[in-house]
Amino acid sequence: MNPSTEPVLADKGEDGVLVVTLNRPEARNAVNDALAAAAAAIMRDFDADPRLRVCVLTGAGGGFSAGLDLKAFLRGEVGEDPERGFAGITRVPPRKPVVAAVEGFALAGGFEIVLACDLVVASRDARMGLPEVRRGLVADGGGLLQMPRRLPANVAMEIALTGAEVLPGRLHELGLVNVVAEPGQALDQALILARAIARNAPLGVLASKDVLTASPSWDPDQAWERQHGLVSPVWKSDDAEEGARAFAEKRAPRFSGR
């Protein structure tokens, strides 16, 4: 198959960063079953490949994603992977960090994909939101579950119930968007962020994400114990020894992920 016709593209960089591109620009990168299956397979491989440390997720053709392909929906497609959910990511995201690079638009399910990512870089003129209620639908691809965790409750309610678009500048002020980039620069800025993460110790990065993701649901009386269970292997790792040795020798560490 010609790579340009594949619904999702994956570019494995030598710097440990995987760039994943939703590749249906003729359909505004809308999600059909083929795209969801391809994205899910790529995300599984990403988590399994020790050479890859961070994923940057973007869209082809100047836009991120318009969400579910409604033409495919009328044919009975739902754009979901049975295990990983909508677009192969919203129900079960990768354990490793994912950075969204948003140009143009991330609407409906496209915004739900963004909410499934750990960090967000968006061009200042990008349009984002959940317009499902305007189409007789409900944003059940993870957006209604993620927004209250990522945004103030009243703002999440506003976005969900009005279906109005929200600019990245406002989402940056509210803490969802990490970096507001100039138009056309979202991918470059996301790569800067991803490479800064990829330079760090893989085990430490994974454990940090695990704690940050899981701890909001922990019983406060058990939080320290549960954190210890996740992070104690890192302190005993080869990378912990290498980090200390590199600091003492005043050189850059060479982390192995062990």
Tallying the residues shown for the chain, one arrives at 258
Catalytic residue among 6, 112, 182, 241: 112
Residue ranges covered by each domain of the chain: 3-198, 202-249
**What value does the mean pLDDT take over residues 98-119?**
98
**pTM, rounded to two decimals:** 0.94
Alpha carbon distance 9, 27 (integer Å): 15
Identify residue 189 by its one-letter amino acid code.
Q
Would residue 112 show up in a list of annotated catalytic residues for this protein? yes
Fold of 3-198: 2-enoyl-CoA Hydratase; Chain A, domain 1 (3.90.226)
Q: Are strands 8-12 and 17-22 parallel, antiparallel or unpaired?
A: antiparallel
Identify residue 227 by its one-letter amino acid code.
Q
The answer to whether residue 168 scores a pLDDT higher than 60 is yes
Would residue 241 show up in a list of annotated catalytic residues for this protein? no
Residue 5, pLDDT score? 87
Q: What is the pLDDT of residues 29-77, one digit of tens each?
A: 999 999 999 999 999 999 999 999 999 999 999 999 999 999 999 999 9
Of the candidates 57, 60, 44, the one whose C-alpha atom is nearest the C-alpha of residue 112 is: 57
User: What is the pLDDT of the chain when averaged over all its residues?
Assistant: 95
User: What is the signed CA dihedral for 117, 120, 125, 131, rounded to 10 degrees?
Assistant: 30
What's the start-to-end Cα distance of the chain, in Å? 37
- Beta bridge pairs of residue 31: 68
Sign of torsion, CA 3 59 44 16?
Answer: positive
Catalytic residue among 77, 132, 173, 241: 132
The answer to whether residue 162 scores a pLDDT higher than 70 is yes
Residue 3, pLDDT score? 52
The answer to whether residue 2 scores a pLDDT higher than 70 is no
Residue ranges of E strands in 79-230: 80-81, 85-86, 98-102, 105-107, 119-123, 127-129, 179-181
